Amino acid sequence: DAGVIQSPRHEVTEMGQEVTLRCKPISGHDYLFWYRQTMMRGLELLIYFNNNVPIDDSGMPEDRFSAKMPNASFSTLKIQPSEPRDSAVYFCASSLGLKGTQHFGDGTRLSIL
């Protein structure tokens, strides 16, 4: 079975540019999560969706960050404009139900120069 698929795996761009990260959750899962992982702050939950609806975006660091889930099989995390401090590994995860195990993608390693 296909797991959570994220693209791109690596992204290098200059500060000020728009960055879009993509995620395809496991088919049938009704929850989708976006996380950011850095050495300094560890794993942080940015936002999560239930049935394509954003439930809690309190972890989104600034207005420069936005996330959408237009349908059950696709979500994006956008940073505009990007800054060097946004450099991190961004993970998407999905789960079935409130108490389901979260399945993580392999992440997008983002470097902002």
Partner 1 sequence: AQSVTQLGSHVSVSEGALVLLRCNYSSSVPPYLFWYVQYPNQGLQLLLKYTSAATLVKGINGFEAEFKKSETSFHLTKPSAHMSDAAEYFCAVSDTGGFKTIFGAGTRLFVKA
Residues pairing with 110 in the sheet: 11, 88
Q: Does 93 bind partner 1 (CB under 8 A)?
A: yes
Q: Which stretch binds partner 1 (CB under 8 A): 11-19, 64-72, 74-82, 99-107?
A: 99-107
Q: Which stretch binds partner 1 (CB under 8 A): 12-20, 62-70, 74-82, 96-104?
A: 96-104
Torsion of CA 68, 25, 86, 78, to 10 degrees: -20
Q: Which stretch binds partner 1 (CB under 8 A): 11-19, 20-28, 70-78, 89-97?
A: 89-97
DSSP state at residue 103: E
DSSP state at residue 101: P
Which 23-82 positions form the footprint of partner 1 (CB under 8 A)?
31, 42-43, 45, 48, 56
- Enter the tokens of residue 3: 């797991």
User: In Å, how far are 1, 13, 40, 60, 88 from 10, measured between CA atoms?
Assistant: 24, 10, 20, 21, 10
Site size toward partner 1 (CB under 8 A) is 20
| Footprint on this chain of partner 1 (rule: CB under 8 A) | 4, 31, 42-43, 45, 48, 56, 91, 93, 95, 98-107
